[in-house]
Structure 1
Amino acid sequence: MIDLYRWSLEKIRKDPIMSTWMEDRREEWTPLIASRIKLMLEGACFIFFCDNERRWFEEYFLLNINKKNNERPILPFFSLRALYPNISNVSTKESIELLEDMLSLSFSNGYMFFYIGKGNSIFSQIAKNSDNSYMWLIDEHAENSFYLDGADENLDIKLIQLFRLFDSSISAALFDEVIL
């Protein structure tokens, strides 16, 4: 077994496209993902959502995270839009707190928001309000987030690459291939 940092480096280097941009960013990536995978292994669920510009990626992510050919247990990823279809009405601190109350009642073992999108989106405020959130923020640096550049012409490709690394990291942790 190797640590997630070294495992990630090997995984990144095997993907020639990813290695050019992600190898230098693994120091930012690895501790954040390791802490969130630990929370999941302790029973917490991921409440996943994206801003409106990345709705396509939200569907892609949720369709692929528990694919049949993964040969692993089904993972606790839930769509925030499916859990609360009126999510677009959540815009105040009070409405965010009401949403969090509902989720706390529904997920007694805990949950963490997993948000991908612009840092200035109203949806980002939901994730930023929680200490356990995991975010891939576009055009904003924040705690518990991985920064992405919105002007990058390869942003969509990078999102898919990050999904593949994220998905592989979870499998490696589940099958004791890595130390978190």
Structure 2
Amino acid sequence: MDFEEKPIESKIVFHGHLIDVEVQQVKTPQGNIAQREIVHHAPAIAILALTADNKMILEKQWRSPIAKTTLEIPAGKLDQRDDASAVHAAKRELNEETRYQATDLEKISSFYTSVGCMDEYMTLYLARGLQRVDHELPQDQDEQLTLQTVSLDEALAMIDRGEIEDAKTIMAIYYWRGMKDHE
């Protein structure tokens, strides 16, 4: 069965600092005409950062799209400083947001964050052997973060209570639980 839709017409309707929005008219495999709204976003990274006492680092920050603060793992988008390297972006973001560097940085997985409307492709890393950085990179001027560390049991309870609602963070916590199950 053929699933591919063929674009007939395409227009960028918004070009912003973080995203571009494209509206496409497509022809479906059944011959129907449909409209697709696509959010284009730079590739991104996220980091499950585990401290020496086996706690994860979480960031509390305001998120305008949902109009509330969230608890999330460190994350960010690749930009010109990263030369298209997700590993470089992970190291940079870890420094900028937590002031740590990792002696062990391991790729967990890569995935699309919201395939129904967005092309953002994220790579999730596990960072261990955390040490304070010697040289702090400047933090993004539009971010205000508060850090906290929690154990696996605390993180799982926070998911159950609805205190952690961010998908990448939940995925990282469940991965962490899987690691513990295999130790």
- What TM-score results when the alignment is normalised by the length of structure 1? 0.26
User: Higher RCO, 1 or 2 (CA under 8 Å, sep at least 6)?
Assistant: 1
Q: If you compute each CA radius of gyration, which structure gives the higher value, 1 or 2? A: 2
Higher fraction of strand: 2
